[in-house]
Amino acid sequence: MKECMVRLIYCEMLGYESSFGYIHAIKLAQQGNLLEKRVGYLAVSLFLHENHELLLLLVNTVVKDLQSTNLVEVCMALTVVSQIFPREMIPAVLPLIEDKLQHSKEIIRRKAVQALYKFYLIAPNQVQHIHDKFRKALCDRDAGVMAASLHIYLQMIKENSSGYKDLTGSFVTILKQVVGGKLSADFNYHSVPAPWLQIQLLRILGLLGKDDPRTSELMYDVLDESLRRAEINHNITYAILFECVQTIYTIHPKSELLEKAAKCIGKFVLSPKINLKYLGLKALTYVIQQDPNLALQHQMTIIECLDHPDPIIKRETLELLYRITNGQNVIVIVQKMLDYLKESQEEYAIISLVAKIAELAEKYAPNNEWFIQTMNAVFSVGGDVVHSDIPNNFLRLLAEGFDDEKEDHQLRMYAVQSYLALLEEEDKLYPQKFLQVMSWVLGEYFSLVTDVDPEVILTKLHGLLRKTFVTSETKAWIMAAVTKIASHTSCSKAVDEIIQELSSSLDTCLRQYAFELKHLCEDRALMKSCLPFDASCSDLVVDASLSFLDGFVAEGLAHGAAPYKPHHQRQEEKLSQEKALNFEPYGLSFASSVSSSGVTGRQSPTGLSFGSDISGNSAETGHKETNTLKLEGVRKLWGKEGYLPKKENKTGKGNEPQPVPCGSFLSGQVGEAPALQPEQGASLSEEDKEKQQLASTLFIGLGSSAGVSLMGKADTATQKFKRKSKITETQQLSEEASDLQTSTASDFGSLLDTVPVNVEDSEGSMHTRLRKASPSSDIVEDSLAFETPQSLRKSVLDDRISANRLSQSSLFADSNIEIFQPSSSAQCESASETPLVPSLPEELAELPHSEVVGLCQSAALALHLCKVWTDDSLLLIVFVSNKTPSALHAVNLVFEETEHFQILESASSQFPVIEAQSMEHCQKCVKMNKVCTQAILPGSVSYQSEMETCLELSVTLSLMDFIRPMEMTTEDFGKLWLSLSNDVKQNIKMSSCQDSLSAALDTLQQKLKLHRVDVIGNEGILACQLLPSVPCLLHCRTHSGMLALWFRSPCAALPDGLLYQCQKVMEES
């Protein structure tokens, strides 16, 4: 069997189907012979993926091998667990792997840490309670175990760096020992001591020292030593230098280190080797925020890189130019990007560049004509690989308009004129998305062009419908435009021809459009009421209950039709008829009857019988409908011709330039670009003159006086296309159309979901940052019963957070406030003044609330914040204090909606005047859109004194801020339990003070705000809700000193978040 399995592995590598042998691989892994077991484990790791259903048959074997006294068997089991293991079965092996952290053999401890790292990636909530054991692994006497633990710490510090500041000294000490060569020679690579370990530690130090002067001071010496010792001419030392440069520019700056890092970057950029030049451009792109003059020093080299034969160098150069773009050089930079876009054939490069061009065009467009022409070029060159958000947001921008009605009219009119001119070219082939944009604009704003007869536009659209390259989806867009135009014309020959041609079309959708158009043409009054002019931003009243179908449903029921059953009910009925697999470990099974009930078998927490017992997400069980093996995720890397992916052509070593001595990177000054003297300019060639002229155009606006953010946006530039504010829009709609039911248009984000935010640093210079979105957790997916009628707006979250974080204890857990600390000079000035003490209004003071803590402050203004937890909402009370002897004008406080949180009603508060030495306050109601353990709500406050000033602020909100008790009866609990589809299970060890179920329930009820529904024997049920109305049910059971938790909720992410809070609370108590 062993030889057959080896041949089967070879067949699978060649790309042939060999699923018939998967079960034999599992059987081979269960054999007693070590060699056969090793081949079986190897085959399983190559054949199966972590969601494969056959992995369940391997769990018992893994548990058995983890308990073996043979080190080889334990190592093989740990290796398989760290590669592929089902998420639902982690509780079965987690205690065994925890015990292996104390094993006498270092190889076992190292593989155990690697397995826990895998668990943290796929199910972080299930290993939150063993963080102390990670710290022991970091201090392990074996360097391999310590190195393995760095992977876990890097991941955890990325998510929450403030919780691991106390380990900075340990990481610095480890890096000093590594750099000093204290590790054994086995860790050396080309005489470089543990280079990958150095890179890992440098990344960790960069995250810990970001915006934290005190923590950064601990790192300065070891970073200097790392730069000094990287003197060997090898690629791995270049990698270490690059990570050092990134770390130096990430942490709180020190002038001596910045100078040395700048020298390294200069040597990289000027190197003839392509790899080093790429590293230099990459580093220059990263550090452009802190030192914009560094780009000026190498501007001629950057110009030469635009014409470099290597496309990667070109692309990175364009990325650098993108980050230094401002209102003065946007035309030249966008043109360079478009030129590269026309030459590029790589789909990834096209998608990335198109997104950047669209962002720059919206932000810095000098006029309407240039904006429309640039977007036309984007759609034409980008083709159908353009992300759908770009055309959608472009159309939203046209429909939404700006504060200036005249600008709206001119922009829309020029768009219509440009599209009509493009359609004049008969044989021109345009991408489908571009045709869809044209159709929408022409159908919406055709009447703005008075010198063109609508019949001409209809004729052109009719011509597009006859084109064979136009897809059915695009033809649907064209038919919508034809219908809109036809509603404003009395009679049209083109419309009649379209109806006649498409009425017999084989495309069902187009045929339906034709009949709808014919019906509307016969009833002009109906057509005008259904298709009002320029009503794309008007809100539509949608009957979500579909009450207009009540008569149809009643008639069907009267004729014997079966009543409708929701999806979850059909699923439960289906599961009750099937024999499903039991995913639970046998030792702590939930399958026990309620002591007070005589019913046997599987029981619900309320005594109601379950149809099956499947842990994890029970919604996934609906996919198990066939008896065939699942082959998703099996990679096909080999075929009959050999290795399928194309191999890269290797260049010969003869043409490779000589390596640059790395030791020279730290010596000498990087020469600035010499200024051209008049007599020197005459001797320059025409090509050099063009480069000098291009450099002066590209790098205009950069210098010591220009503040450039991480994304390279100058602070003086204002966004060309600024959206209407909701307040202004509401007033206009109420005045102009009071007889119609209207509402404000949505406040859309930019084409790339980026929002500029002004931040004033301690020295008074203004910088602009771009906030970018990163999905972190699942969206709250409520069932129909818990669906909210209001659409959730997604925003972006700033990845750069103010330093000096301060945690304040409160009545509710994890209510931490992010503090923005001013400079020391500002603190000294404000300390001499008498502070204004904020206090809650009487109606709010009686409610549960947090302490009043400082939010941000400057020499003139101070902000404090207090959380108030009501039964149905979270209120943020913000106190704005004027510390100056004169009044402050135009104080504007704005909270930004992120992907996690939404500000109900208005996100901004305006104070026209705040008198001297006085205080104002406002309150904001916050709603959680995406479930997360903890996230940041950013904002800013601007005010006018001698000059306009802006401060950035941030508030840390936790999941428990939005959890409230949910009262219900045991019967209601049972009914709701069966209707919920997402569940999570976990076993937690109970401490000595929690030896009873009652004590554990008391702890959960008090600290997590859960409602205790009922207690039956050794089982208890609790309920809570995520505001406003997303329920989460909890079933608890004690067994052999363990507390078994079982959560269910309509939201997939909510059980995981509450499970983490339960683990944390039980450990603390």
- For residue 1031 the two structure tokens come to 């329920």
pLDDT at 1031 over 50: yes
Confidence of residue 805 (pLDDT cuts 50, 70, 90): very low
pLDDT at 713 over 80: no
pLDDT of residue 203: 94
Confidence of residue 835 (pLDDT cuts 50, 70, 90): low
CA distances from 696 to 289, 332, 675, 701, 746 (A): 20, 11, 12, 10, 41
Can you say whether residue 154 is alpha, beta or left, with left for phi > 0 and alpha for psi between -120 and 50 degrees? alpha
CB atoms within 10 A of CB 663: 13
pLDDT at 740 over 70: no
- For residue 378 the two structure tokens come to 């984007």
pLDDT of residue 631: 47
pLDDT at 770 over 60: no
Of the listed ranges 150-154, 562-566, 716-720, 736-740, the one predicted with least confidence: 736-740
Length of the chain: 1069
Average pLDDT over residues 392-411: 85
Q: Cα separation of 827 and 820, whole Å?
A: 12
pLDDT of residue 687: 65
Average pLDDT over residues 19-25: 91
- Going by their DSSP bridges, the two strands 853-857 and 1019-1026 should be labelled as unpaired
Average pLDDT over residues 546-558: 87
Q: Cα separation of 464 and 667, whole Å?
A: 65
Q: Cα separation of 919 and 249, whole Å?
A: 39
pLDDT at 827 over 60: no
CA atoms within 13 A on the CB side of 11: 13
More confident residue, 987 or 42: 42
Distance of alpha carbon 194 from the chain centroid: 33
Contact 931, 778 (CB under 8 A): yes
Confidence of residue 751 (pLDDT cuts 50, 70, 90): very low
Q: Cα separation of 1020 and 948, whole Å?
A: 58
Contact 768, 363 (CB under 8 A): no
pLDDT of residue 129: 79
Average pLDDT over residues 1034-1039: 86
Give the residue among 74, 82, 16, 83 at the shortest CA–CA distance from 46: 83
- Going by their DSSP bridges, the two strands 1011-1016 and 642-643 should be labelled as unpaired
Distance of alpha carbon 399 from the chain centroid: 28
Contacts of 919 (CB under 8 A, 6+ apart): 836, 838, 879, 880, 881, 882
pLDDT at 33 over 90: no
Confidence of residue 147 (pLDDT cuts 50, 70, 90): very high
More confident residue, 1028 or 715: 1028
- E strands, 981-1063, are 982-989, 1011-1016, 1019-1026, 1030-1039, 1042-1049
pLDDT of residue 50: 83
Confidence of residue 784 (pLDDT cuts 50, 70, 90): very low
Give the residue among 398, 402, 491, 479 at the shortest CA–CA distance from 445: 398
pLDDT at 638 over 80: no
Confidence of residue 584 (pLDDT cuts 50, 70, 90): low
Nearest-5° Cα angle at 710, 709 to 712: 60
- How does pLDDT run across 268-323, given as a tens digit for each residue? 888 888 888 899 888 888 888 777 777 778 888 888 888 888 888 988 988 888 88
Which secondary structure element, helix H or strand E, spans residue 958, and what is its range?
strand 948-958
Confidence of residue 467 (pLDDT cuts 50, 70, 90): confident
Q: Cα separation of 119 and 87, whole Å?
A: 8
Give the residue among 97, 142, 103 at the shortest CA–CA distance from 123: 97
How is 339-367 classified by DSSP, letter by letter? HHHHH---HHHHHHHHHHHHHHHHHH-SS
pLDDT of residue 522: 85
- For residue 732 the two structure tokens come to 């206009």
- How does pLDDT run across 603-636, given as a tens digit for each residue? 333 333 333 333 333 333 334 344 444 445 545 5
In the numeric block, the tokens 């035309």 are attached to 331
- For residue 546 the two structure tokens come to 């579909």
What percent of the chain has a predicted confidence (pLDDT) above 70? 74
Q: Cα separation of 5 and 260, whole Å?
A: 56
| Residues linked to residue 127 through DSSP beta bridges, in sequence order | none
CA distances from 1 to 31, 36, 77, 549, 1042 (A): 11, 8, 20, 63, 42
pLDDT at 676 over 50: no
pLDDT at 41 over 60: yes
pLDDT at 243 over 70: yes
- How does pLDDT run across 55-72, given as a tens digit for each residue? 889 999 999 999 999 999
pLDDT at 803 over 60: no
Q: Cα separation of 501 and 164, whole Å?
A: 70
Q: Cα separation of 43 and 40, whole Å?
A: 5
Contact 923, 878 (CB under 8 A): yes
- E strands, 144-293, are 188-189, 192-193
Encoded amino acid at 391, one letter: P
Contacts of 879 (CB under 8 A, 6+ apart): 838, 852, 863, 864, 865, 866, 919, 920, 921
Average pLDDT over residues 108-131: 88
- E strands, 82-152, are none
Mean pLDDT score of the chain, rounded to an integer?
A: 76
Encoded amino acid at 303, one letter: I
More confident residue, 721 or 337: 337
Nearest-5° Cα angle at 746, 743 to 751: 160
Contact 1066, 995 (CB under 8 A): no
pLDDT of residue 662: 41
Please state the φ and ψ torsions of residue 1016, each to the nearest 5 degrees.
-130, 105
pLDDT at 361 over 80: yes
Encoded amino acid at 94, one letter: L
pLDDT of residue 547: 83
Confidence of residue 198 (pLDDT cuts 50, 70, 90): very high
Of the listed ranges 247-251, 507-511, 861-865, 907-911, the one predicted with least confidence: 907-911
pLDDT at 574 over 90: no
Q: Cα separation of 1045 and 1008, whole Å?
A: 14
- How does pLDDT run across 443-461, given as a tens digit for each residue? 988 888 888 888 888 988 9
pLDDT at 598 over 90: no
